[in-house]
Amino acid sequence: MVRRIDRDQQRFDKIIKGKVRQQLRKYINHGEMIGRKGRETVSIPVPNIEIPHFQHGEKGSGGVGQGDGEVGEAIGRGKSDGDGQGQAGNDRGQHIREVELSLEELADMLGEALELPRIEPKGDDQLTSEKDRYTSIRPTGPDSLRHFKRTYKRALRRMMATDNYDPKDPVIVPAKDDERYRSWKTVSEPHTNAAVIYMMDVSGSMTDVQKEIVRTESFWIDTWLKRQYNGIERRYIVHDAVAHEVDEDTFYRIRESGGTRISSAYRAADQIIKRDFPPSMWNIYCFQFSDGDNWGEDNSECIESLKQNIIPICNLFCYGQVRSPYGSGDFIKELRKVEEEFENLILSEIEDKEGIYGSIKTFLGTGK
Amino acid sequence: MVVTTHRPLPKVLSDIQQEMEQHALDYGLDFFKTIFEVLDYEELSMFAAYGGFPVRYPHWRFGAQYDELMKGYSYGLQKIYEMVINTDPCYAYLLSCNDITDQKLVIAHVYGHCDFFKNNAWFSHTNRKMLDQMANHATRVNQHIDTFGYETVEMFIDTCLSLESLIDPYLPHIRRTKKSESRADAKKRSDAEGDNAGGRFPAKVYMDRYINPEDILEEEADQKRIKAQEMADQLKFPKERLRDVLHFLIQYAPLEDWQRDVLSIIRDEAYYFAPQGQTKIMNEGWASFWHSTIMTKHGLTDQGLINYADHHSGTMATSPNRLNPYKLGIELLKDIEERWNKGQFGPEYENCTDMFEKEHWDKDTGLGREKIFEVRRIHNDITFIDTFLTPEFCYKNQMFSFGFNDSNKTYEIQSREFQQIKQQLLSSLSNHGRPAIYVQDGNYKNRGELYLEHDYLGVELKLDYAQDTLVNLHNIWKRPVNIETVIDDRPTILSYDGKNHSTNSKEKK
């Protein structure tokens, strides 16, 4: 039964989610606006919606309080420069409300806003994996699966019913009939999993601003791909002159310096794919971010490696070149030369934060 | 649809309830029959979001409120212990997970509120069957929704809510104007009287002196002039400025029937809730006075002491930048009781200049209890503070006034002087902290524009909100709307003509 309040709350939810939808572009470009990220949900701060009244402003306002303090002592700040969000100017004093969105909803909004096509997974959805789920109870089984609580309850009930239970000496002795065991069911799941490999250049010329762009963009890419596949596996590679596989956290935080050899990252990616993701079973996505300032002699090796090992087995290979304060490199020009040959090689230049929106559209707009 | 969550009180609680009720009666509290219900937090939040009423019209703001309450509770920021609604019989909701001492305290507190609702003069005009009234409102709104669609009605409700504070909180208690005759009636009347009065009768010259006597003609001319003035007054509309803007809009704005109905629902409900805003300090003070009296004299058990002390002190906590109505109310009531017990009132006491004598003044008059019952009957927050706040009280309670310093955007302590504290307190309580706004002219510039006036008392309007509100007002009035206020010490008119906002300083007359 739906209570009135649930209906009103749903309506309210819809209204504030509408706000997020309207301003999605802003949220996409400014990743820091995404608040807490949980496993399944994100919370997004939105300005509270309020019904305007004729009401008093701050100028000339005051009140009466209680406590210690000298005349002239400050007791609190005005609201106008209270809650962060850095956008000065004529925005109203903001009460922030957090909207809780599931990642699926967010992905759907993203898809809608960017008009992204659904991804057609590679044709091995015949492939299923089997999993055991412990979801039921039965009266026989090995002791290791005995359900203590159920068994105890049944025993207790039986003893009370037969008047053998003494509250002063509450000993429960389960009989054979009381025993209950966990039992499993085998479920088969269609296996359309995807593997995503993120590569980032962490050489000296990539500053925090560039990394922030990478981070924001990969968050949205992740969100979208997660929505499209049953489960995705992610691998992260950072490189300067040599490449390392790292975990997600390190990927976003690491700070290195040194030269740039992109081929090292390609080699690492190749190894990971060979090791973990046989291309016949996986939809493989590679996203590479760099400022494109590669070591000149390395370029030919890179192209060769891409052509031979990586591009042929990937659903998509995306290269995003972020502009760094040291000027943009020319790696993207090298790639442009071979762009024609492969339809799953996607290139995008990201000038600044505002470019993220367009870049995501370029990468994911192919529907692969 | 679940309307009531009614379930009988568990034995433990109904025992407590009877005990507390008896104590309350013994102290002379007088209340409607009070029905207690125990709710879990979700249900209590739901009731709180709906202002205590189980059936309200659908609107997202209730959902927003509920969401806020539930989140605040789950993050451990806030907790509602009870809710009482002003109806006959009185309904009170208790939180099921309250500890037993809390329940006792809360029940005693509730009886304080019930007594206040029944006896305080400012509540005397509220509808005690509001439960039914609210449900009827819900039905009416739902009918409109069925006919005109959810979003249409919702948008219109948003518009009305934006104006809901534009009522005359004293209206139920005074008749401001004589029952005014409608303009149509007035016209009919003046037509019937005709214009034949005055003027000369035809007469021969030599008879003129007798047929048209000079003094009578003069008198008639005077009357004509008065009548013309009256006619001009009738053109001015409304005749005198009106506080009840909503009523004016319901009467004269070009609304469809359903819209008029929705607007009058919003107005009705605003009037129902108004006295609660007018008596926040007194009401909470009175209820706290009684929970503390009953608990400390009768209700407390040894094991409940710590819990009680914790709960009570939490309720009474003060902070420098927010006045706690519970604290101020209970302290002031206690102060009054003490003063009237000791006879610290009247000219003899007031005129005494010996501070020592004044401090130890005790005539053993013992009128305290009687006095506070009288106070709870006749006062609202403003008259309460105005009559009973004393310099000694302010000093004892470390009160100060603070104000907004525009140059560094902070609130600063301004004064510990009695007069200033009192002034500040009264002005922040007037119209419970909202600007007072009047309809000045419904035919401004003879162009059918609406002209409102803000009674500027030193605090400016929040400009962006005012402009948004003007937009909503325009949605209802359909012609340009204006409000006169003061910005940066200059009289200013804010206008909205349906497309653009404009701000003009008012030309000096």
- pLDDT tens-digit readout, B384-395: 999 999 998 999
Higher pLDDT pick, B300 / B3: B300
Angle between helices B11-26 and B100-119 (to 10 degrees): 40
Confidence of residue B283 (pLDDT cuts 50, 70, 90): very high
> Are A207 and A169 contained in the same domain?
no
Give A79's Cβ-side CA count (13 Å radius).
13
> Are A213 and A276 contained in the same domain?
yes
Looking at residue B262, its pLDDT comes to 96
3-state secondary structure of A195: strand
| Interatomic CA distance for residues B95 and B221, integer angstroms | 75
Residue B278 to chain A, least CA–CA distance (Å): 17
Task: Kindly list the distances between the CA atom of residue A67 and the CA atoms of A155, A349, B352, B362, in Å, as whole numbers in the listed order.
Answer: 62, 59, 29, 29
Looking at residue A32, its pLDDT comes to 58
Looking at this protein, which amino acid is placed at residue B413?
A: I
Looking at residue A350, its pLDDT comes to 86
Q: How far apart are the first and last CA of chain B?
A: 60
Name the residue of chain B whose CA is nearest to A12's CA: B60
B73 has a pLDDT exceeding 70: yes
Looking at residue A92, its pLDDT comes to 35
Residue A152 to chain B, least CA–CA distance (Å): 28
Q: Is the pTM of this model over 0.90?
A: no
**Residues B24-40, mean pLDDT to the nearest whole number:** 93
Judged by CB atoms within 8 Å, which residues 183-242 of A form the interface with B?
none
> Are A235 and A359 contained in the same domain?
yes
Residues B465, A76: C-beta atoms closer than 8 Å: no
3-state secondary structure B338-392: HHHHHCCCHHHHHCCCCHHHHHCCCCCCCCHHHHHHHHHHHCCHHHHHHHHCCHH
Looking at this protein, which amino acid is placed at residue A59?
A: K
**Residues A331-352, mean pLDDT to the nearest whole number:** 84
| Number of C-beta neighbours around residue B44 at 10 A | 25
CATH code for position A234: 3.40.50.410
Residues A64, B400: C-beta atoms closer than 8 Å: yes
Residues B466, A54: C-beta atoms closer than 8 Å: yes
Residues B462, A73: C-beta atoms closer than 8 Å: no
pLDDT tens track for B147-165: 999 999 999 999 999 999 9
| Main-chain dihedrals φ then ψ at residue A21, nearest 5 degrees | -60, -45
Segments making up each domain of chain B, as ranges: 11-120+279-302, 320-417, 435-505
Query: In sequence order, what are the beta bridge partners of A287?
Result: A198, A318
The answer to whether residue A184 sits within a structural domain is yes
| Interatomic CA distance for residues A200 and A238, integer angstroms | 5
Percent of chain B with pLDDT over 70: 93
Q: Which of B43, B71, B150, B404 should one mutate to test binding to chain A, selecting the residue with the greatest count of A CBs within 10 A?
A: B404
Residue A136 in tokens:
């039921």
Q: A61 Cβ partners below 8 Å, 6+ apart? A: B403, B404, B459
| Main-chain dihedrals φ then ψ at residue B212, nearest 5 degrees | -120, 75
Counting the structural domains of chain A, the total is 3
Mean pLDDT over all residues of chain B?
Answer: 87
CB B459 within 8 A of CB A61: yes
- Least confident range of A294-308, B34-48, B257-271: A294-308
> Are A244 and A108 contained in the same domain?
no
Q: Does the beta carbon of A96 lie under 8 angstroms from any beta carbon of chain B? A: no
The answer to whether residue A120 sits within a structural domain is no
| Number of C-beta neighbours around residue A109 at 10 A | 18
A355 has a pLDDT exceeding 90: no
pLDDT tens track for B407-451: 877 888 888 899 999 988 888 888 777 899 999 988 888 888 999
| Main-chain dihedrals φ then ψ at residue A266, nearest 5 degrees | -65, -40
3-state secondary structure of B85: strand
Task: Tell me which chain A residues have a C-beta less than 8 angstroms from the C-beta of B483.
Answer: 54
Q: Does the beta carbon of A60 lie under 8 angstroms from any beta carbon of chain B? A: yes
3-state secondary structure of B491: strand
3-state secondary structure of A236: strand
Q: Which of B158, B321, B487 should one mutate to test binding to chain A, selecting the residue with the greatest count of A CBs within 10 A?
A: B321
Confidence of residue B136 (pLDDT cuts 50, 70, 90): very high
Q: Does the beta carbon of A91 lie under 8 angstroms from any beta carbon of chain B? A: no
Looking at residue A85, its pLDDT comes to 31
The answer to whether residue A12 sits within a structural domain is yes
B173 has a pLDDT exceeding 50: yes
The answer to whether residue A69 sits within a structural domain is no
The answer to whether residue A87 sits within a structural domain is no
Q: Work out the burial of residue A40: count CB atoms within 10 Å of its CB; fewer than 13 is exposed, 13-18 middle, 19 or more buried.
A: exposed
| Interatomic CA distance for residues A273 and B251, integer angstroms | 76
Domain span at residue A110?
Answer: 1-50+95-115
| Interatomic CA distance for residues B331 and B289, integer angstroms | 8
Judged by CB atoms within 8 Å, which residues 232-271 of B form the interface with A?
none
Name the residue of chain B whose CA is nearest to A77's CA: B410
Residue A48 to chain B, least CA–CA distance (Å): 10
Confidence of residue B184 (pLDDT cuts 50, 70, 90): low
Residues A66, B400: C-beta atoms closer than 8 Å: yes
| Interatomic CA distance for residues A290 and A260, integer angstroms | 9
Q: Which of B341, B321, B336 is nearest to B390 (CA)?
A: B336
> Are A204 and A352 contained in the same domain?
yes
pLDDT tens track for B325-339: 999 999 999 999 999
pLDDT tens track for A251-266: 877 777 777 888 888 8
pLDDT tens track for B470-491: 999 999 999 999 999 998 888 9
Omega before residue B320 within 30° of 0, cis: no
> Are A240 and A279 contained in the same domain?
yes
Looking at residue A93, its pLDDT comes to 37
A214 has a pLDDT exceeding 70: yes
3-state secondary structure of B39: strand
> Are A303 and A164 contained in the same domain?
no
Looking at this protein, which amino acid is placed at residue A264?
A: S
> Are A107 and A152 contained in the same domain?
no
Looking at residue A182, its pLDDT comes to 92
Residues A61, B459: C-beta atoms closer than 8 Å: yes
Omega before residue B275 within 30° of 0, cis: no
The answer to whether residue A353 sits within a structural domain is yes
Name the residue of chain B whose CA is nearest to A97's CA: B68
Task: Tell me which chain A residues have a C-beta less than 8 angstroms from the C-beta of B465.
Answer: 52-55, 92
Looking at residue B152, its pLDDT comes to 94
Residues B469, A54: C-beta atoms closer than 8 Å: yes
pLDDT tens track for A34-61: 655 666 777 777 777 888 899 888 777 7
